[in-house]
């Protein structure tokens, strides 16, 4: 017999969802059958699986060690180690300043991503244990293109992860970016279009009119300064599609400096000068209510700042943002 006591990170979910994580290799029919036969109990009683779990609940599995090991699986949560730039951290969430060149989410080729680095970080500082990872995996709630730097929000508790994800899905959390674009822009604009993605080329196309399989996109930008050939923009992401800012601005004739996919490659830059610099939280209730109205910013990378100096746009950056 094995016994587990539900902790704060596991509370709030349905019992069958918890069992699916604990016995991740078992078919659902198995643990429903075990609940019917009382080989799996909740607080000493027969369960159906739709019960909501609370911290301190007792789960008992009357299974052989061999059966438990077979169905729990021995695949440990992937992890890697990197000195993450943590902008903010509490018991529920983290805000991380992702460097350009790092993947936001796991790739098929096994290249470590921010998710693996996050897991490694939380294990190292004691926020999570190997046992915790049986039923909970920390994760990021938004993604940035590999060569885009800036703020990524991550959940380190179940409630934090759920509430953060909800904010991104409902678009209540406001996200602002900085980018350096080709050409002169002097007026703020709210641009709309339709985005279609070609999975083979991993490239998107923006259309002015509705098109089959194209999703609506909305982007707002504010010029902060221009040197007569290039413009520093503050961009508010209204919708959040893949490559949206890069492709949307390029479709307007203002590609981002250093973007080889939608603009021109720059030999002295490793990627586009696009940085997610600010997140503004809405008025909140629930677990994350203490973050209501909070604004967090991440400094731009050194190469971005150096380019602004070379383009004589450094003052525009400091005057408008610092």
Q: Can you give the three-state secondary structure of 109-161, one letter per residue?
A: CCCCEHHHHHHHHHHHCCCCCCCHHHCCCCEECCCCCCCCEEEEEEECCHHHH
How far apart, in whole angstroms, are the C-alpha atoms of residue 17 and residue 314?
Answer: 51
pLDDT of residue 50: 95
pLDDT of residue 74: 64
Q: Which residues of the chain have pLDDT under 70?
A: 74-75, 322
pLDDT of residue 109: 79
DSSP for 243-298 reads THHHHHHHHTT-PBTT-TTTS---TT-SS--EEEEEEE-----STTGGGTT-EEE-
Could you give the domains of the chain?
2-72 (3.10.290.10), 86-170 (3.30.2350.10), 174-321 (3.30.2350.10)
Q: Are 60 and 112 in contact (CB under 8 A)?
A: no
pLDDT of residue 322: 58
pLDDT digits (tens, 9 = 90+) for 2-26: 999 998 888 889 999 999 989 989 9
Does pTM surpass 0.75?
yes
pLDDT digits (tens, 9 = 90+) for 233-256: 999 999 988 899 999 999 999 999
């Amino acid at each position: 017999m094995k016994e587990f006591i539900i902790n704060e990170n596991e509370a709030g979910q349905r019992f069958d969802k918890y069992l699916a994580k604990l016995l991740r290799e078992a078919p659902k029919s198995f643990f429903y059958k075990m609940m019917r036969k009382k080989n799996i109990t909740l607080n000493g009683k027969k369960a159906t699986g739709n019960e909501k779990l609370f911290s301190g609940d007792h789960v008992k599995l009357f299974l052989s060690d061999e059966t438990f090991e077979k169905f729990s699986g021995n695949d440990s949560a992937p992890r890697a180690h990197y000195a993450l730039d943590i902008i903010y951290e509490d018991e529920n969430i983290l805000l991380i300043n992702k460097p350009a060149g790092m993947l936001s989410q796991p790739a098929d080729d096994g290249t470590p991503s921010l998710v693996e680095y996050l897991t490694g970080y939380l294990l190292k500082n004691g926020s999570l244990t190997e046992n915790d990872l049986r039923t909970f995996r920390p994760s990021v709630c938004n993604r940035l293109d590999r060569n885009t730097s800036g703020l990524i929000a991550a959940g380190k508790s179940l409630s934090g992860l759920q509430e953060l994800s909800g904010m991104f899905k409902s678009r209540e959390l406001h996200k602002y970016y900085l980018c350096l674009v080709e050409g002169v822009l002097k007026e703020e604009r709210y641009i709309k279009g339709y985005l279609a993605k070609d999975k083979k080329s991993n490239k998107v196309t923006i259309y002015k009119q509705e098109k089959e399989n194209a999703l609506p996109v909305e982007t707002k930008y504010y010029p902060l300064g221009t040197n007569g050939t290039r413009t520093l923009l503050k961009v508010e992401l209204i919708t959040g599609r893949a490559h949206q800012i890069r492709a949307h601005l390029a479709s307007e004739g203002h590609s981002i400096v250093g973007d080889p996919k939608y603009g021109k490659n720059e030999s002295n830059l490793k990627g586009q000068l696009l940085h997610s610099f600010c997140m503004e939280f809405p008025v909140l209730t629930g677990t994350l209510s203490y973050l209501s109205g909070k604004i967090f910013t991440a400094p731009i990378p050194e190469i971005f700042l150096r380019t602004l100096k070379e383009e004589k746009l450094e003052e525009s950056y400091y005057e408008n943002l610092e």
